[in-house]
Amino acid sequence: MLASVVTMLVTIQSFASASFEGYIKYEIDVKPLHPELNIAYLQSLYGTHLTTYYKIGKYKTSIMGGNTDWELYDSQTNKQYLKLHNKSNVVEYDGSDEKRELQSIHMENSSDVILGRNTKTLVIEYIDGSKLKYWYDPSIFVSPEQFEKLRFGYLNRYWETAKSPYLKYERYTKYTIVTHTATQIERTKLDSTFFKLK
């Protein structure tokens, strides 16, 4: 019994030490699919740039120019926290809550090279016709165990398959295509206080 506990702790520690810690910066591009949609308005919703910070058990996304200042996920509580622009309160969501019905999760061929990295492409499609596409480099490892309860957006399934942060992301709806494309990747130690709710 003691041996199995020690083995489990060593395994968890090895995942934690190998898992990517640092940040990835992205540019955001919004393409309206209807002529009456104004690009400036869409940019005010989605922003123009974002940075996602990863530390074992947590990630935080800071967004520039949109209606959201930041988002935070904490795997210990399986909660997502959202700070809207010009609002003082932080909104809390249950990470296990996903009401959209899944149609498929599958891989697609990818020839995209992002920041000099060859990528694979994972696609998540919903019954309502919306679709998410993720391009990732498998050599940037993120331990998927920390996201196994994160059902929102079927992100648990994404992490289970990719085991890597996305370098490009496209979200397709009836009205827009929103694209995040990585412009910089930096491995660095991050202070845990950065991930505290303020």
Helix, strand and coil content of the chain, in percent to the nearest 5, comes to 20, 45, 30
pLDDT mean over 94-121: 94
Q: Is residue 171 part of a domain?
A: yes
CATH number at residue 61: 2.50.20
Asked if residue 66 belongs to a domain, the reply is: yes
Q: Give me the pLDDT at residue 74, please.
A: 96
In this structure, is residue 197 part of a structural domain? no
Cβ(142)–Cβ(165) below 8 Å: yes
Q: Is 12 inside a domain boundary?
A: no
% of the chain at pLDDT higher than 70? 91
How many domains in the chain? 1
33 located within any domain: yes
Res 170 pLDDT > 90: yes
Q: Does residue 162 lie in a domain region?
A: yes
Higher pLDDT, 36 or 28: 28
- 13 pLDDT higher than 50: no
Nearest Cα residue to 189 out of 26, 16, 61 = 16
Is 173 inside a domain boundary?
yes
pLDDT at 10: 42
Whether 12 has a pLDDT exceeding 60, the answer reads no
Structural domain containing residue 25: 19-189
CA separation for the pair 46, 68 (Å, rounded): 8
- How many Cβ atoms from other residues are within 10 Å of residue 196's Cβ? 11
- Largest separation between any pair of C-alpha atoms in the chain: 65
In a domain, 1, yes or no: no
What's 30's DSSP letter?
E
The pLDDT tens digits of the residues spanning 46-99 come to 999 999 999 999 999 999 999 999 999 999 999 999 999 989 899 999 999 888
* Whole-number average pLDDT of the chain: 90
Which tokens sit at 93? Answer: 């969501």
pTM over 0.95: no
